[in-house]
């Protein structure tokens, strides 16, 4: 039986040996991803089913970690989730935000039942994209300042806006 030094799978940054930060070198991340892909490819362990099973787990984790850290938005979410102590169940969206979103929800409903209303869709997309861009900029600043509690609260808004965007793309 061969001895394998399996990497840690409790944190994406630790898995790659990177310092947790919003600002990362994506070329270095890609290099590390490919290095792990080669080192732990399940085909290298085909003679030992237990090791091959572990290699499959590491490969899946490598893919998941790379996907999360390679996307600025997903990296932002991951940093907030791993550094925030509050659970999502204890947090609620602020009432003023929900009131603002009521109009957007109604516009999306109107678009869903309208036939080919491109101008309405364009107006909604413009408003959603502006909101997402502003929120992402604010979230990046919160993460860089390590203001995890507020970042976690704002992340709920981001998730909400992303769901609205998805509804607009596929209304039914």
pLDDT classification of 171: cutoffs 50, 70, 90: low
The mean of the pLDDT values for the chain is 91
Q: What is the pLDDT of residue 168?
A: 85
**What is the percent of the chain with per-residue pLDDT over 90, rounded to a whole number?**
73
pLDDT classification of 147: cutoffs 50, 70, 90: very high
- Residues 12-69: pLDDT tens digits? 999 999 999 999 999 999 999 999 999 999 999 999 999 999 999 999 999 999 999 9
Task: Give 120-124's long-range contacts (Cβ < 8 A, gap of 24+).
Answer: 121/168, 124/168
CA dihedral 7, 63, 143, 149 (to 10 degrees): -80
Indicate if the pLDDT at residue 120 is higher than 60: yes
pLDDT classification of 113: cutoffs 50, 70, 90: confident
Q: What is the mean pLDDT of residues 65-77?
A: 97
Q: Rounded to an integer, what distance in angstroms lies between the CA atom of residue 82 and that of residue 78?
A: 6
Indicate if the pLDDT at residue 158 is higher than 90: yes
- What is the fold of 12-70? Helix Hairpins (1.10.287)
Q: Rounded to an integer, what distance in angstroms lies between the CA atom of residue 20 and that of residue 36?
A: 18
Delimit the domains of the chain by residue range. Answer: 12-70, 88-169
Q: What is the pLDDT of residue 89?
A: 52
CATH 2.40.50 corresponds to the domain 88-169: no
Q: Rounded to an integer, what distance in angstroms lies between the CA atom of residue 100 and that of residue 65?
A: 34
Cβ atoms of residues 44 and 97 within 8 Å? no
Cβ atoms of residues 69 and 77 within 8 Å? no
CA-angle at 158, arms to 114 and 95, nearest 5°:
80
Q: What is the pLDDT of residue 32?
A: 98
Q: Rounded to an integer, what distance in angstroms lies between the CA atom of residue 68 and that of residue 32?
A: 14
């Amino acid at each position: 039986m061969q001895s394998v030094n399996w990497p840690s799978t409790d944190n994406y940054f630790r898995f790659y040996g990177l310092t947790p930060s919003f600002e990362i070198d994506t070329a270095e991340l890609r290099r590390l991803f490919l290095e792990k892909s080669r080192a732990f490819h399940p085909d290298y362990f085909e003679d030992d089913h237990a090791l091959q099973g572990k290699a499959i787990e590491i490969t899946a984790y490598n893919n998941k970690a790379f996907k999360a850290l390679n996307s600025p938005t997903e990296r932002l979410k991951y940093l907030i989730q791993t550094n925030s102590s509050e659970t999502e169940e204890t947090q609620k969206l602020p009432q003023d935000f929900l009131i603002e979103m009521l109009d957007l929800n109604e516009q999306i409903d109107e678009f869903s039942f309208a036939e080919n209303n491109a101008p309405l869709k364009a107006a909604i997309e413009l408003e959603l994209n502006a909101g997402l861009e502003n929120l992402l900029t604010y979230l990046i600043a919160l993460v860089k300042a390590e203001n995890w509690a507020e970042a976690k609260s704002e992340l709920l808004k981001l998730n909400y806006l992303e769901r609205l965007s998805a509804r607009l793309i596929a209304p039914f």
